[in-house]
Amino acid sequence: MTPGARLAAVIELLDEIGQQSRPADVTASLYLKARRYIGAKDRRAISDRVWGILRRRARLDWWLEREGCAPTARTRLLADLALFDRKTPADIGNELTAGDRHAGAMTPADWTLLQALKGRDLFHHEMPAWVKGEYPAWLEPRLTDSLGERQAAEMAALRDEAPVDLRINTLKGDRAQAKAALAAEGLQAEETPLSPLGLRLPARMTLTAQAAFRAGLVEVQDEGSQLLALLCDARPGMAVMDFCAGAGGKTLALAACMENKGRLVACDVNERRSEKAVLRLRRAGVHNVTRRVLESESDKWVKRQSGMFDRVLVDAPCSGSGTWRRNPDAKWRLSEQGLAELTALQGRILASAARLVKPGGRLIYSTCSLLAEEDQRQVEAFLAAHADFHLLPLPPLWAETVTARGGGACPCDGDMLVLSPARDKTDGFFAAILERR
């Protein structure tokens, strides 16, 4: 593709993302699948530009509004070329029109905008904190409440692209074997500092063509999620429930911890999402999993399973604020009403899942959120309403399940797991382990 054609595709894709309620990565995948004539290098260039604009959206829009220009896919692209790439108006004009299929010649309004942005920096001292941090203004008090003095650093870390974390599938091999297999294909992976099962690649990439992935030796999973699976302490022969299993990432990790022995049930309310786990389970060599689609968190089947599980994992639907490095569009699709609905749902799911836990068993609650109302306060509210459960302190559990397997020292002083991108180099992640008396 010519430079002009690439920029035209960027504008088209940004427009589609803006018009759809689904996640940006789904929209991008459908867009590129429908245009198979776009080569691998061009796909990467288009994706990098689109995701970069999504990561810089608040700052780009601040500049556009400052110059009296409405934020659109085209104006955001022009501003990004000027502010992030620091290109001159003339160079941008030439790039826009390069090739037969292009993004169109600059208009007088385009030229006026680019002249105003010429030589400017993406950051400006007048920008409010929410613009510099790239998050919705209404979240400011909630983030301050949750993060305190670390807020600016954590939001800055969430602006950046996340590395690719891999979990070693111990049903197929160990970390040394996986590291060697990746190296044989030219991928130099580093061991994750906290998880004894993790390897880290420095940048976003497609792994589906790699032999280690196709053989089921590695799975893509953030280090925080790997640690959660270990902290569940699911052992061979146990009865374990993954209550909000989704596409099965944590189910796979639990199955490996159980060495394929015991009963592992993966539940979800979305049948299509649950179906995605089938291929992953087969590739990983997992055969102790039963999948079940629930009508809701209060499905009658749940009541019939009361008190039958040693471990019940509730990786609850949440704001996803801890994953904004990977999903920068998600923050702009979140609303105050949506957050309120999520916190209410989390409470209902936790209360329903608690029925499944046998005496002496454990209920593990987790989110990929940085917000206290989805994390600590959910646990506090649950414990206040359920006297038969108590919170297990994190450090001893960590020593038994993580450090004993070769992982790093516990990063948290309190009784709950709280991980963040700036401090821990993981996604924002929360977990609490509750035991039934």
Question: How far is the C-alpha of 401 from the C-alpha of 394, rounded, in Å?
Answer: 10
Among residues 250, 261, 176, 241, the alpha carbon closest in space to that of 212 is found at: 176
118 three-state secondary structure: coil
What are 270's two structure tokens? 């979305």
At 164, list the tokens. 């690719």
Looking only at the bridges linking them, the beta strands covering 309-315 and 429-436 are: unpaired
- State the residue for tokens 């989704």: 246
Here the tokens at position 113 are 């905008």
Task: Please tell me which residue in 244, 267, 318, 368 is annotated as part of the active site.
Answer: 368
**In a 3-state reduction of DSSP, which class is residue 76?**
helix
Rounded Cα–Cα distance for residues 384 and 388 (Å): 10
For residue 215, give the 3-state DSSP assignment: coil
Which position has the token pair 């429908």?
34
- Residue 244 annotated in active site: no
Residue 147, exposed/middle/buried by CB under 10 A (0-12, 13-18, 19+)? Answer: buried
Please spell the DSSP secondary structure of 230-254, one letter per residue. Answer: HHTT--TT-EEEETT-TTSHHHHHH
Q: Which of 283, 285, 249, 282 is nearest to 266 (CA)?
A: 249
Active site residues: 368
